[in-house]
Chain A
Amino acid sequence: RYSLHLLFEAPISQCVLIACSENDISSEMFFLSILPLRHDDLKEMLDSNKDSLKLEAMKRIVAMIARGKNASDLFPAVVKNVACKNIEVKKLVYVYLVRYAEEQQDLALLSISTFQRGLKDPNQLIRASALRVLSSIRVTIIVPIMMLAIKEAASDMSPYVRKTAAHAIPKLYSLDPEQKDQLIEVIEKLLADKTTLVAGSVVMAFEEVCPERIDLIHKNYRKLCNLLIDVEEWGQVVIINMLTRYARTQFLNPNINEKKAEAMAMAKRKPYVMDPDHRLLLRNTKPLLQSRNAAVVMAVAQLYFHLAPKAEVGVIAKALVRLLRSHSEVQYVVLQNVATMTIKRRGMFEPYLKSFYIRSTDPTQIKVLKLEVLTNLANETNISTILREFQTYIKSMDKDFVAATIQAIGRCATNIGEVRDTCLNGLVQLLSNRDELVVAESVVVIKKLLQMQPEKHSDIIKHMAKLTDNIQVPMARASILWLIGEYCEHVPKIAPDVLRKMAKSFTNEEDIVKLQIINLAAKLYLTNSKQTKLLTQYVLNLAKYDQNYDIRDRARFIRQLIVPTEKSGALSKYAKKLFLALKPAPVLESPFKDRDHFQLGSLSHLLNAKAGGYQELPDWPEAAPDPSVRNVEVKESVRCDTQCGSDNLICQTFLSPFDSDLFSTESDSASGSESGSGSGEESGSGSQMLSFSTIAPSSTVKSYELLHRITGEGLSVEYCFSRQPFSSDANMVAVQMQFTNNSTSETKSLHMEDVKLQSGMRVKEFAEIESLPAGESATAVMGIDFCDSTQAANFQLKFFVSIQPPVGELMQPVFLTENEFKKEQGQLMGMNEITEKLTLDIKCRNEHAIVQRVTTTANLSRVPCGSDKECRFAGRTVTSGSLVLVTVVTKDEGATQLTVNCEKMVIGTMLVKDILLALTQ
């Protein structure tokens, strides 16, 4: 009935609907193709008031665009529908508009007001899509409107709209480059954005608009490093590539000692210490080697290749070898980069030699690249395996590949002296191959090898002389002739005969062969003029009338030089010296040599030519620029409230007496900078941790997750035991909590509810946080009396959470002298003493490390002690004040005895377990 009703609408709708109802199995294009419609009909459909007809018409029009057919004359009819209610019609109109607006600028302006309205829509996705289409319309007249829209969107509440703004920047820039300065301002603003959604897109805009403004990155460097793991994969690639360039301008070369010449100069300078920011970048990119996206893996690999200390570059090999399993296009690009890397850092791919073995089913280009890598990897130890492998390749049906293999053998032979003779013999055997291409390639390679030691191999030269009868490939003929000419003294009898034959066939030879015949003739004339004088004259005469002017020129020149006449100048005296000068042997080197001056993974590297828009990878600076430019002022709201001031003091008194190093690092982070040095390690999500490090005063304080941002619907909470006495109740353990609102809306009234505790436990709640705006963080401190047990404190914080303390946090340090310690220990013997024998972890075999690990595990203070073999620690449990005494006595080779004395046996046993773990791992 529905179709009948429509039948009266218009003639076209009739056919369409009949077509529809008759083909109920059809896919969407089935009936579109059976009924080609004229443009007039389409216009009529677009003007109708039925959405279904409009949609139908738009689908046909988009299909025309997709096929590359011209649909520009429908513009007025289509643009009218830009405000259509139906979403799909609207989207298709957008597709049309973006495609043709450039050609119909005046008409396109009709649609602008719709988008301007869309920019004000309360729905973020509509705002974003309006901006997206508006910025894609390439009409110069609307540049000011676009600029305004971008600026507005850049400070939009929604990160998605801000992301779209970042995307719009390069579009506007390509439309009107004069807007650059204003756009840079927007980029600067968006670079400061803290959301992962925006990060990738804005760096992309940065790279397209102002890649030279490296100074914009300073303040955002640490944030970008920390966000990186959570950015979407395409953004990761762009950020990593940009940061590679950044690091090259800001940090020192970690491999400076590699160059011996500079080692001297280095000795005078202070020793190299890696900038913590440099380390941060390396550490935060490493996990991305495990990405499923080949482009991300390659980006990290090139970052490591260009920035990491030599000893650490090796980690990328495994990941790159993994990519060889991927699509052949991926293999192609990866192998190109591996080929370049193997020249400089051969060692790292050597364990994966077999992964580069060639299968007969590989495409030729992959085979050739694998061959290149194998050749680069060849050394004295593996050459025999590689040559055996090459032998199987020579029999391949793919002749281009065989030719490349022969070249590769030649290169192995030049690089590795031990196998030169073996290779040469192998190649000589190939001279009897049935395939001419193989023979020709062998000749060319043998020629190069013979140049190294001609005197030893006159028999090979003789053998090759015989080949001139059969071999037709010009390059090979030319090579043989050159060889005979060059070493005619080694084959005095054969050489004139070869020249005789060549003189006979001169006119039929290719140009390169002719040139070599002339060379051969000249050289023979100089050494053996008796036999060859006439022949030479004959050849030169033939050449004189050759069609090719190069050959005529050469003949004329050589005749003047070698045949003495009255007119010939002083030069002819030296003719022999000129022709038979000792020529240096050619160096067979990889075409990938020195390609690493292009940033690896780039298009320019692949093409070995600078592509448009390529940013040079700068050389390392001689002296590092000021690292403090990357310091960021911490917002007041993030800093912890009243206790912050005393923070440093406490740390100082606890740690400085025995660990000055530790103290110095932490005074850095406590002094207000968002130090990267310790931050990334402990937390999964960098963004939260970033601000967290400013609160945790010491790197020894470990933080725990209370509420993950996913389970918390955007709210994430982490907590740590700040190890400060809880001010209002001395029997409580202070727990510092860090709230971060990752959602897009404000969170209100954060407070504790429904506290469930074991008997005896008490909690001092933190003050309610009234509101936490999107993207912001706040901290609060609460106190819990755990009653000297490790039972959990459970409560509601919008969601159900629980805090369970490690046993080491249930105590606080006390200061004892050595004598006091021994006295107290004497009273806690027998049942109260627990002793354990252990072997220290290799990294932990010094006093410094032991102290650090024990104090990290438990909140104890060190007791001064005369012997360096013994470390003693003391503390009291928070609730009952029972003494906890720990003694670590080290013996040879890491054998160690750990003793814990404590009245509370449960605490003692658990503490032993924890410390044991800390010392052995």
Chain B
Amino acid sequence: MIHSLFLINQSGDIFLEKHWKSVIGRSVCDYFFEAKEKAVDPENVAPVLQTPHHYLISILRGKLFFLSVIQTEVPPLFVIEFLHRVADTFQDYFGDCSEGVIKDNLVTVYELLEEMLDNGFPLATESNVLKEMIRPPTILRSVVNTLTGGSNVGDTLPTGQLSNIPWRRAGVKYTNNEAYFDVIEEIDAILDKSGTTVCAEIQGVIEACVRLTGMPDLTLSFMNPRLLDDVSFHPCVRFKRWESERVLSFIPPDGNFTLMTYHVSSQNLVAIPVYVKQNISFFETGPCGRLDITIGPKQTMGKTVEGLMVTIHMPKAVLSANLTATQGNYSYDLATKVLVWDIGKLNPQKLPNLRGSLSMQAGVPRPEENPSLNIELKIQQLAISGLKVSRLDMYGEKYKPFKGVKYVTKAGKFQVRT
């Protein structure tokens, strides 16, 4: 299936190659570089490319391209999903997935890639199994290893791979047993010029951090499971129980994992936490334009809106911005033409406002379109859909774990058209 993998940085250098079958020369990447050249932005490169003898399937993670070479028919999503899993694993191991980090841990990376695929077919992709075979680096261990000749490779053989529950390693022990669940909801919305909602939906995810001794069997139930319209689960969740009882019953992986993602039924009206009053105009005469943006709270359920930030991709003709913000700071990047206004906490008594003039390149016609506003925000202690976890029960173990649930609402792809 997957023949080779090349890791490529933004400037087009191949800094790692791995082949699972016969070696394929680097020149195959030239087709990719050609496509990259044509696309203005790196994200516009088509993920699947056809060359005379191979197919190239690539993903862009952070600033790196993961480029895989394929020779025969394979579902493209299979490869894409796998490449993202590789990137996730690096993230999990090294806390980051950047060129520097990968170069620093080249051997560990190579060992991981060796275990994740066999002859191009995925072998071990569960983080728990991998961690049993190859230990993630810590500063202390790398020092000890270099002095003593110890190794990163686990000396116990991985048993997780053999069990029926490959996501959990055996013999987990903790002195403090704890299970935390973060319910994170994102509002995806498009608002039009007048502030009416063009479309809006809520996507949620439950991130779990479970550190429990032994083989606990957990049951998580909701006050209002009917809200959940569409769900996807970590493989540990027993689907039958969800179907019949609407509870999440599972033996958790050890550590951090995504328990489920969900979509809140679109019949429910989505509460939009902020409103935006904006006026961006470019004048026909004279090289300038005006910008005036005010943001205020709308449906916040009595909570404070934090981490408010507005990003605007300006037309190419905008040279600079001379603005004043009543709250927060703004910056305008001349190269990328991105205006970022970092507001912070929203104070309902004194609404933040950004206004001023934009100077335009002379001689260039007035831009047709007003740029749209992308908004980021965060509301702590609130799941905007109203979803509530009612209880978490544990079976199979005797001790009493410490349990916690946290709710956060964020703006996802939240766009205001102007």
Shortest Cβ distance from B26 into chain A, in angstroms? 6
Closest to A30 in B: B104
Given A24-B143, A167-B123, check contact A361 B374 (CB 8 Å): yes
Render A64-77 as a binary contact track against B, CB cut-off 8 A, 1 for contact. Answer: 01111000000000
User: Judging by beta carbons under 8 Å apart, are A294 and B77 in contact?
Assistant: yes
Q: Which residues of B contact A160 (CB under 8 A)?
A: 161-162
Q: Which residues of B contact A232 (CB under 8 A)?
A: 166, 235
Shortest Cβ distance from B78 into chain A, in angstroms? 4
User: Judging by beta carbons under 8 Å apart, are B75 and A241 in contact?
Assistant: yes
User: Judging by beta carbons under 8 Å apart, are B81 and A295 in contact?
Assistant: yes
User: Judging by beta carbons under 8 Å apart, are A611 and B161 in contact?
Assistant: no
Closest to B120 in A: A170
Pick from B41-49, B289-297, B300-308 the stretch touching chain A.
B41-49
Shortest Cβ distance from B50 into chain A, in angstroms? 6
Q: Which residues of B contact A742 (CB under 8 A)?
A: 164
Q: Which residues of B contact A332 (CB under 8 A)?
A: 46-48
Complexed CA–CA distance, A859 and B142 (Å): 68
Q: Which residues of A contact B233 (CB under 8 A)?
A: 290-292
User: Judging by beta carbons under 8 Å apart, are B72 and A29 in contact?
Assistant: no
User: Judging by beta carbons under 8 Å apart, are B199 and A327 in contact?
Assistant: no
Complexed CA–CA distance, A28 and B315 (Å): 46
Pick from A538-546, A601-609, A630-638 the stretch touching chain B.
A601-609
Shortest Cβ distance from A55 into chain B, in angstroms? 6
Q: Which residues of B contact A88 (CB under 8 A)?
A: 151-153
User: Judging by beta carbons under 8 Å apart, are A29 and B103 in contact?
Assistant: yes
Q: Which residues of A contact B374 (CB under 8 A)?
A: 361
Given A28-B142, A99-B19, check contact A290 B231 (CB 8 Å): yes
User: Judging by beta carbons under 8 Å apart, are B44 and A230 in contact?
Assistant: no
| A835 in contact (CB, < 8 A) | no
Shortest Cβ distance from A509 into chain B, in angstroms? 26
Q: Report the interface size for chain B: residues with CB under 8 A from the other chain.
A: 112
Shortest Cβ distance from A403 into chain B, in angstroms? 14
| A591 in contact (CB, < 8 A) | no
User: Judging by beta carbons under 8 Å apart, are B239 and A434 in contact?
Assistant: no
User: Judging by beta carbons under 8 Å apart, are B81 and A613 in contact?
Assistant: no
* Chain A contact residues, majority secondary structure: helix
Given A68-B26, A125-B158, check contact A52 B149 (CB 8 Å): yes
Q: Which residues of A contact B269 (CB under 8 A)?
A: none
Q: Which residues of B contact A709 (CB under 8 A)?
A: 164
User: Judging by beta carbons under 8 Å apart, are A20 and B78 in contact?
Assistant: no
Pick from A318-326, A404-412, A479-487 the stretch touching chain B.
A318-326
| B122 in contact (CB, < 8 A) | yes
Contact of A355 among B122, B148, B201, B371 (CB under 8 A): B201
Instruction: Give the residue among B18, B146, B241 with the most A Cβ atoms within 10 A.
Output: B146
Complexed CA–CA distance, A297 and B75 (Å): 12
Complexed CA–CA distance, A146 and B89 (Å): 32
Which residues of A in the span 690-710 have a Cβ within 8 Å of any Cβ on B? 709-710
Render A309-350 as a binary contact track against B, CB cut-off 8 A, 1 for contact. Answer: 000000000110110010111101110000000000000000
Given A63-B106, A125-B158, A229-B239, check contact A615 B73 (CB 8 Å): yes
User: Judging by beta carbons under 8 Å apart, are A395 and B162 in contact?
Assistant: no
* Chain B contact residues, majority secondary structure: mixed
User: Judging by beta carbons under 8 Å apart, are B110 and A66 in contact?
Assistant: yes
User: Judging by beta carbons under 8 Å apart, are A329 and B47 in contact?
Assistant: yes
User: Judging by beta carbons under 8 Å apart, are A102 and B149 in contact?
Assistant: no
Given A29-B107, A125-B158, A233-B235, check contact A330 B137 (CB 8 Å): no
| A564 in contact (CB, < 8 A) | no
Pick from B344-352, B362-370, B383-391 the stretch touching chain A.
B362-370
User: Judging by beta carbons under 8 Å apart, are A91 and B105 in contact?
Assistant: no
Shortest Cβ distance from A293 into chain B, in angstroms? 6
Pick from B111-119, B273-281, B327-335 the stretch touching chain A.
B111-119
Q: Which residues of B contact A123 (CB under 8 A)?
A: 157
Complexed CA–CA distance, A30 and B106 (Å): 11
Which residues of A in the span 592-648 have a Cβ within 8 Å of any Cβ on B? 601-604, 606-607, 609, 611-615
Q: Which residues of A contact B55 (CB under 8 A)?
A: 603, 607, 611
Q: Which residues of B contact A604 (CB under 8 A)?
A: 73
User: Judging by beta carbons under 8 Å apart, are B199 and A603 in contact?
Assistant: no
User: Judging by beta carbons under 8 Å apart, are A28 and B48 in contact?
Assistant: no
Complexed CA–CA distance, A51 and B145 (Å): 11
Q: Which residues of B contact A233 (CB under 8 A)?
A: 125, 235
User: Judging by beta carbons under 8 Å apart, are B164 and A612 in contact?
Assistant: no
Contact of A66 among B71, B109, B217, B365 (CB under 8 A): B109
User: Judging by beta carbons under 8 Å apart, are A234 and B121 in contact?
Assistant: yes
Q: Report the interface size for chain A: residues with CB under 8 A from the other chain.
A: 120
| A363 in contact (CB, < 8 A) | yes
| A86 in contact (CB, < 8 A) | yes
Render B159-190 as a binary contact track against A, CB cut-off 8 A, 1 for contact. Answer: 00110111000000000000000000000101
Given A290-B239, A291-B233, check contact A612 B73 (CB 8 Å): yes
User: Judging by beta carbons under 8 Å apart, are B371 and A360 in contact?
Assistant: yes
| B76 in contact (CB, < 8 A) | yes
User: Judging by beta carbons under 8 Å apart, are B230 and A132 in contact?
Assistant: no
| B403 in contact (CB, < 8 A) | no
Q: Which residues of B contact A606 (CB under 8 A)?
A: 48, 76
Given A66-B109, A330-B80, A710-B165, check contact A87 B151 (CB 8 Å): yes
Q: Which residues of A contact B26 (CB under 8 A)?
A: 68
Q: Which residues of B contact A360 (CB under 8 A)?
A: 313, 371-372, 415, 417
| B382 in contact (CB, < 8 A) | no
Shortest Cβ distance from A601 into chain B, in angstroms? 5
Q: Which residues of A contact B417 (CB under 8 A)?
A: 360, 392
Closest to B144 in A: A24
Given A20-B147, A241-B75, A333-B47, check contact A26 B142 (CB 8 Å): yes
Shortest Cβ distance from A327 into chain B, in angstroms? 6
Contact of A63 among B21, B107, B161, B231 (CB under 8 A): B107
User: Judging by beta carbons under 8 Å apart, are A601 and B75 in contact?
Assistant: yes
Given A328-B43, A397-B315, check contact A67 B146 (CB 8 Å): no
Render B68-111 as a binary contact track against A, CB cut-off 8 A, 1 for contact. Answer: 00111111111011101000000000000000000111111111
Shortest Cβ distance from B128 into chain A, in angstroms? 13
Closest to A135 in B: B119
Closest to B396 in A: A711
| B10 in contact (CB, < 8 A) | no
Closest to B235 in A: A233
Render B388-418 as a binary contact track against A, CB cut-off 8 A, 1 for contact. Answer: 0000000010000000000000000101010
Render B194-231 as a binary contact track against A, CB cut-off 8 A, 1 for contact. Answer: 00001101010000000000010100000000000111
Complexed CA–CA distance, A873 and B172 (Å): 54
| A861 in contact (CB, < 8 A) | no
| B15 in contact (CB, < 8 A) | yes
Q: Which residues of B contact A62 (CB under 8 A)?
A: 106-107, 110
Complexed CA–CA distance, A744 and B164 (Å): 11
| B22 in contact (CB, < 8 A) | yes
Complexed CA–CA distance, A293 and B78 (Å): 9
User: Judging by beta carbons under 8 Å apart, are A603 and B369 in contact?
Assistant: no
The 10 closest A-B pairs by CB, nearest first: A52-B149, A613-B72, A88-B151, A354-B199, A395-B369, A88-B153, A614-B73, A329-B47, A234-B122, A295-B77
New A-B contacts (18) at CB < 8 Å, excluding given A28-B137, A295-B82: A29-B103, A55-B149, A66-B16, A86-B149, A88-B153, A95-B114, A160-B162, A287-B239, A290-B239, A322-B230, A328-B43, A333-B48, A333-B77, A359-B372, A360-B417, A396-B369, A710-B165, A742-B164
Q: Report 11 cross-chain contacts, Cβ distance below 8 Å, ordered by A residue.
A: A56-B149, A66-B106, A66-B107, A196-B164, A292-B232, A295-B81, A327-B80, A332-B46, A357-B198, A607-B50, A709-B164
Binding site for B on A (CB under 8 A): 2-3, 20-21, 24-31, 50-53, 55-56, 59, 62-63, 65-68, 86-89, 91-92, 94-95, 99, 102, 123-126, 132, 135-136, 138, 158-160, 164, 167-168, 170-171, 174, 196-197, 201, 204, 229-230, 232-234, 237, 241, 287, 290-295, 297-299, 318-319, 321-322, 325, 327-330, 332-334, 354-355, 357, 359-361, 363-365, 389, 392, 395-397, 433-435, 601-604, 606-607, 609, 611-615, 684, 709-711, 742, 744
